Amino acid sequence: MHHPSRNKVIKSSRGEGSPGTPKNNSEQLFADYLTRHEYTWEYEPDVEGKVKKPDFRAWWSGSPYYFEVKERAPAELPNSAGAINPYKGIRRLIDKARKKLNEFNDRPCALVIYNDGDFRTPMRVRDVFGAMLGDLGFTLDLATSKTQSVFLPQGGSMVRYANDTFQNTTISAVLVLREVTLRNADFERRIREEAEKQGREKGRELLPEERAELQLDIGLKMQVKHEHAPRVIVCENPGAARPLSGKLFAGPFDERYGLVDDRMAKIYQGDRVSDIQ
């Protein structure tokens, strides 16, 4: 299991827009992640020989890695029902990051994406791979009636369909950044014990509304405080010229996905993922 680097943090302030410090929610949360895991990192560093500044440069085993952090802003709910395209927003972020990171293609680079309230861009793992490789569809075996997920040859930001090659090899992976709430074991135990007690007294299981009321009452009495933590879900770009090391972003709440036999597969899960509420 990977243990975080013990390197010194260069910058870790979560200042409100002051020069040289992360400014928006996604940048601040990513900085928090790097700091908690004790990576050496810099915000908007001047890189020798480069014109543009990446959002972050982090160091691992003496080597630099570059990161561009993009977020989707809150979107108002529509007045009527309608279909959403979960890939569209992610593809826009990939295209923006590609233009910024192309200059740093001599090192592994990654796009970090964060949903700050856009209901149209849920950023599920399948959405990210669909945005990279093509809209998700399925094939049907008429003989067995079995279906299999496939990437349709349309829309993928990483693929050039005309000659079936990868066109975006600079971005090593897309990292989905989230802030998660962790379970409170004492709180959950109290709820479970009290629910069982009241259930015995009533001679039945508590109704959902009764359990919700019980949860609120116990939470107020205990003055429960839930811990929050940043988490990263790595979605590997199978066409990356420089893959992102599996030793990075392998924290206790993290996950990593890649293609195995041309299908999405989980290749890492932190040992505390089950603690996420």
SS3 246: coil
Instruction: Spell 228-262 as b/e; 16+ CB within 10 A means b.
Output: ebbbbbbbbbebbeeebeeebbbbbbbbbbbbeee
Give the CB-side neighbour count of residue 51, counting CA atoms within 13 A.
4
Q: Would you give the distance in Å from CA 221 to the centre of its chain? A: 34
Residue ranges covered by each domain of the chain: 25-182+227-275, 185-222
Average pLDDT of span 16-37? 85
Residue type, 217: D
Q: CA 85 to CA 218: how far, in whole Å?
A: 41
Distances (CA, A) of 181 to 31, 48, 73, 206: 18, 40, 21, 25
| Average pLDDT of the chain to the nearest whole number | 89
pLDDT digits (tens, 9 = 90+) for 125-158: 999 999 999 999 887 788 888 887 888 999 999 9
pLDDT digits (tens, 9 = 90+) for 38-84: 999 999 999 999 999 999 999 999 999 999 999 999 987 777 676 88
Beta strands 109-115; 171-181: pairing state: parallel
End-to-end distance of the chain based on CA atoms, in angstroms? 23
Q: Say what percent of the chain tops pLDDT 70.
A: 92
Residue type, 22: P
The Cβ of residue 129 has, within 10 Å, a number of other Cβ atoms equal to: 27
pTM for the full predicted model? 0.85
* Strand positions, DSSP E, the chain: 40-43, 56-60, 63-72, 109-115, 136-141, 146-151, 159-160, 165-166, 171-181, 228-236, 255-260, 263-269
Is pLDDT at 6 greater than 90 in this prediction?
Answer: no
pLDDT digits (tens, 9 = 90+) for 83-104: 889 999 999 999 999 999 999 9
For the ranges 93-97, 186-190, 235-239, the lowest mean pLDDT is seen at 186-190
Residue 107 near residue 170 (C-beta atoms within 8 A): no
Average pLDDT of span 108-115? 98
Q: CA 117 to CA 71: how far, in whole Å?
A: 9
99's CB contacts (< 8 A; 6+ apart) are none
Is pLDDT at 7 greater than 50 in this prediction?
Answer: no
Q: Residue 161: phi, psi to the nearest 5?
A: -70, -25
Average pLDDT of span 239-250? 96
pLDDT digits (tens, 9 = 90+) for 119-134: 999 999 999 999 999 9
Q: What is the pLDDT of residue 145?
A: 80
Among candidates 100, 165, 152, which has minimal Cα distance to 126?
152
User: In the 8-state DSSP scheme, what is residue 229?
Assistant: E
Residue type, 202: K
